[in-house]
Structure 1
Amino acid sequence: MLDRPAGKRQVQSDIVAEQLEEEIITGRVSGGSRLDESSIAVRFGVSRTPVREALHALCARSLAERIPYKGVVVAQISTERIGQMFEAMAEMEAVCGRIASQRMSMIERAELESLHRLMNELAEKGDHEAYERANTEFHDLIFRGSHNEDLVALAAALRLKLAPFRKYQLRDTGRLKRSCSEHQQIVDALLDQDPKAAETALRRHLISAAQEVLVRREAEAKHD
C-alpha cells in the first residue's frame, strides 16, 4: 500500500517532465519562460509534488534553471548550445570507444553485438520507446567497456544533459534505421579491436544525431 502512491507520483512526474521536455526542445516554450508549479499542476491535473519532481528533472538536464526570487525558468537553448553539447558528447564517446576497443572483454563484446541485433529488430518494428531504452544501454556498455571509472562518470553526466535531445531525434522510424547502420560501424570497430575506427564511428554517430535534432527543430519551427 505504501509503495503505490510513490509509484503513481513517479509516473505522473515522468509524464509531466517528458511533455515539458518536448515543448522546450522544440521551442514551443521559449527560453526565459517561468515554469509555474501551480499552473502546471492544473494543466496536467496532478498535485504539485509530481510537478516539483518534474521541474527538478528538467533542471538536472539543463533544460531549466532555478533562479532566486523567480523560481524555475526555461534555459536558453540555442542552436549553438545544442551543437556544443553534442560536440562534447561526441568527443567523450570517441575517447571511451577508442579505449574500449582495447579493453572490452569477450563477454562485453558479445553483449554489445547481441544488443545491436535486438535494436535492429526494434527499429524494423518502429518501437521507438524500446529502442531508446536499448540505445541508452548500448552506449553505456561502451562507456563501461573503457574500464575507467572517471570516464564512465563524465560520460554519464554528459549523457544526462543530452538525453532529451537524443530521445527526441529517435522518434522517426527512418532515423532508427540510420542509427542502426551507424551502430553497425561502431560494433564492427569494437569487435575488430580497431581504436581509430571506433573513435571515428562514434564521433560521426553523434554528429549525425545532432544534425537530426537541428533539422527536426527547424522543420517544427516552420510548421508552427
Structure 2
Amino acid sequence: MSLGDVIASQLEEQVINGSIPAGAKLDETAIATRFSVSRTPVREALHILCGRGLADRVAYKGVVVTRISPVRIDEMFEAMAELEAVCGRLACHRMTMSERAELEALHHEMEGLAEADDGSAYEALNTRFHTLIFAGCHNTDIIASAEALRLKLAPFRKYQLSEAGRRKRSSLEHRQIVDAILDQNPAATESALRRHLISAAREVVLRRQRLDATTTGEVE
C-alpha cells in the first residue's frame, strides 16, 4: 500500500463518518503538514477520493468533499448488488472444486474472526471473500466491472463493518451465500447476495443518520 493509499484511507473514513463535512475544502498543504509528507502523496490521495466520488475538483476552489446522500448510497449498493448477483449466479456452475473449497474455508476463518471481534482482519478477508466470488464467474469483463465498483464502494463497506454486531450479521449472511453456491443454486445465490448488499447499505445509511442526529443535538 502506497503512502497515498494510506492517506486516502484515513481521509475516506473521516469523510464517511462526517468528521470532514460535505463542502469542506481538502487543502493539499494542510494535509501534507498533518501527515508530515510532501504534496505528491497528498495529490495521489485526493485523486483516489475524487475517483471514488467522495470529493470533486471545483474550479477556483480546489478539491471539495461531496455530499453523500442516502439516495446515492442506495444507488451504489444497488449496482454492486446486481453485479455480485450476476457473479454469484455464474459462479454456481463455473467455480472449480478447489475454488469452492477455498471459499468455504475462508468463510470458516471469517466466522472465527467475527466471534473473536477482530475487525481489521475480518474486513481484509471480507474483500477476499467477495473477490473469490467475482473470480468464480470466470468472465473477465464482468470481473473487471465488479472490481471497479468494489474499489469505489470499499470505504463504505469498511465503514459498515466497523461494529462487532454488524460483522456477526455479515458472517451469517456469508453462510447463506456459501451454502447456495455449494448447492449450485443460482436463484438462492442471487437472492442471498442481494440481501447481503441491501443489509450493508442499510447499515451505512443508519449509522450516518445517527451521526447526523448526534451532531445536530437530536440524540443525547
TM-score bracket for this pair, using the shorter chain length: over 0.9
Residue of structure 2 aligned with 1:195, choices 177, 186, 189 = 186
Cα distance in 2 for partners of 1:42, 1:147 equals 45
Residue of structure 1 aligned with 2:55, choices 64, 72, 82 = 64
Cα distance in 2 for partners of 1:161, 1:80 equals 16
Deviations 1:49-72 (A, max 9, x none): 221221122122221122344322
Cα distance in 2 for partners of 1:33, 1:191 equals 47
- The answer to whether structure 1 residue 122 and structure 2 residue 113 are counterparts is yes
Post-superposition shift, 1:181?
0.2
- The answer to whether structure 1 residue 50 and structure 2 residue 41 are counterparts is yes
Q: How does 1:70-109 map to 2 (within 5 A)?
A: 70-109=61-100
> Post-superposition, which runs of at least 4 consecutive aligned residues in structure 1 deviate over 4 A?
none
AA at the equivalent of 2:34: R
Cα distance in 2 for partners of 1:59, 1:132 equals 23
AA at the equivalent of 1:128: G
- The answer to whether structure 1 residue 162 and structure 2 residue 153 are counterparts is yes
RMSD: 1.5
TM-score by length of 2: 0.92
- Secondary structure of the corresponding residue to residue 65 of structure 1: strand
Post-superposition shift, 1:132?
0.9
AA at the equivalent of 1:125: A
- Secondary structure of the corresponding residue to residue 209 of structure 2: helix
- The answer to whether structure 1 residue 37 and structure 2 residue 28 are counterparts is yes
Gaps of 5+ in 1: 1-6
Cα distance in 2 for partners of 1:27, 1:195 equals 39
Contact 1:26 1:221 (8 Å CA) reproduced: no
Cα distance in 2 for partners of 1:204, 1:180 equals 13
**Residue 218 of structure 1: aligned partner:** 209
AA at the equivalent of 1:181: L
Cα distance in 1 for partners of 2:69, 2:95 equals 37
TM-score by length of 1: 0.91
Aligned length, in residue pairs: 215
AA at the equivalent of 2:171: C
Post-superposition shift, 1:45?
2.7
- The answer to whether structure 1 residue 151 and structure 2 residue 142 are counterparts is yes
Cα distance in 2 for partners of 1:153, 1:26 equals 29
Cα distance in 2 for partners of 1:200, 1:128 equals 26
**Residue 4 of structure 1: aligned partner:** none
Gaps of 5+ in 2: 216-220
**Residue 16 of structure 1: aligned partner:** 7
Cα distance in 1 for partners of 2:10, 2:149 equals 21
**Residue 3 of structure 1: aligned partner:** none
Cα distance in 2 for partners of 1:65, 1:144 equals 32
Post-superposition shift, 1:136?
0.6
Greater shift, 99-108 or 71-80, is seen at: 71-80
Residue of structure 1 aligned with 2:167, choices 154, 171, 176 = 176
- The answer to whether structure 1 residue 205 and structure 2 residue 205 are counterparts is no
- Secondary structure of the corresponding residue to residue 56 of structure 2: strand
- Secondary structure of the corresponding residue to residue 223 of structure 1: helix
Deviations 1:175-212 (A, max 9, x none): 11110100000000000000000000000000000011
